[in-house]
Amino acid sequence: MKKKLISFFKQNPNRLFKSKEIAKRLKVADGHDYEALKATLHKLYEEDFLSKSGKRYKLNTIPKDNKITGKLEINQGGFGFVIPERKDMGDIFIAARNLKTAFSGDKVEVILFAKQKGKNLEGQITKVLKRKREEIVGTLRKSNSFYFVKPDEPEIHRDIYVDESKLNGAKKGDKVIVGNFIWDTSMLNPEGEIVEVIGESGSKEAEAQSIAREFGLPYKFPENVIAEAEEIESEIPDEEIKNRIDFRDKNVFTIDPEDAKDFDDALSVEELENGNLQVGIHIADVSYYVKKGSYLDKQALRRGNSVYLVGHVIPMLPEKLSNNLCSLVPYKDRLTYSVITELTPRGKLVKHDIRKTIINSKRRFTYTEAQQIIENEKGDLVKEIITLNNLARILRRKRFREGGIEFFTPEIKFRLDSNGKPVEIYTKEIKESNMLIEEFMLLANRIVAKHIGFPVKTAKPFIYRVHDLPDTEKIYEFARFVKSLGFSFDPNAASKTQQFMKLIEQVKGKEEEILVNELAIRSMAKAVYSKNNIGHYGLGFDYYTHFTSPIRRYADLMVHVLLFDYSKPGNKMNYPLSVLDEIAEHISQCERDAIEAERLSIKLKQIEYLKDHIGEEFHAVISGITHFGIFVKIIDNLAEGLIRLRDLEGDFYIYDEKKYALIGKVSKKQFRLGDKISVKLVRVDTDKSELDFIIPEE
336, 258: one domain: yes
Determine contact, residues 149/136, Cβ cutoff 8 Å: yes
The CATH number for 124's domain is 2.40.50.140
Comparing C-alpha atoms, which of 118, 122, 117 is closest to residue 89?
A: 122
Which DSSP string do the residues of 465-522 spell out, in sequence order?
Answer: EEBPPPPHHHHHHHHHHHHHTT----TT-S-HHHHHHHHHHHHTTSTTHHHHHHHHHH
Helix (H) or strand (E) holding 642: strand 640-644
97, 231: one domain: no
18, 156: one domain: no
Q: What is the pLDDT of residues 158-215, one digit of tens each?
A: 899 999 999 999 999 899 999 999 887 777 889 999 998 988 777 778 888 889 988 8
302, 414: one domain: yes
248, 396: one domain: yes
Please enumerate in sequence order all residues whose Cβ is within 8 A of that of 546, keeping only pairs 6 or more positions apart, or say none: 445, 463, 465, 529, 553, 555, 556, 559
| Number of domains, the chain | 6
Whole-number percent of the chain with pLDDT over 70: 97
Residue 207 maps to a domain:
no
**pLDDT of 117 higher than 60:** no
Residue 302 maps to a domain:
yes
192, 233: one domain: no
Residue 444 maps to a domain:
yes
Helix, strand or coil for residue 104? coil
Q: What is the pLDDT of residues 610-657, one digit of tens each?
A: 999 999 999 999 999 988 999 999 988 999 999 999 999 889 999 988
457, 337: one domain: yes
Please enumerate in sequence order all residues whose Cβ is within 8 A of that of 594, keeping only pairs 6 or more positions apart, or say none: 215, 217, 304, 305, 306, 307, 308
Q: Return the number of other C-beta atoms located less than 10 Å from residue 572's C-beta.
A: 9
176, 228: one domain: no
Residue 74 maps to a domain:
yes
Confidence tier at 396 by pLDDT (50, 70, 90): very high
The CATH number for 14's domain is 1.10.10
What is the per-residue pLDDT for 30?
81
Residue 214 maps to a domain:
no
536-557: average pLDDT: 96
pTM: 0.82
Q: Which amino acid is at 572?
A: K
The CATH number for 182's domain is 2.40.50.690
Residue 21 maps to a domain:
yes
485, 572: one domain: no
271, 309: one domain: yes
Confidence tier at 673 by pLDDT (50, 70, 90): confident
Q: How far apart are CA 142 and CA 74, in angstroms?
A: 25
Q: How far apart are CA 163 and CA 182, in angstroms?
A: 12
Determine contact, residues 9/1, Cβ cutoff 8 Å: no
Residue 336 maps to a domain:
yes
388, 429: one domain: yes
Residue 432 maps to a domain:
yes
- Composition of the chain by helix, strand, coil, percent to 5: 35, 30, 40
124, 141: one domain: no
**The domain containing residue 91 runs over which residues?**
67-130
**pLDDT of 236 higher than 90:** yes
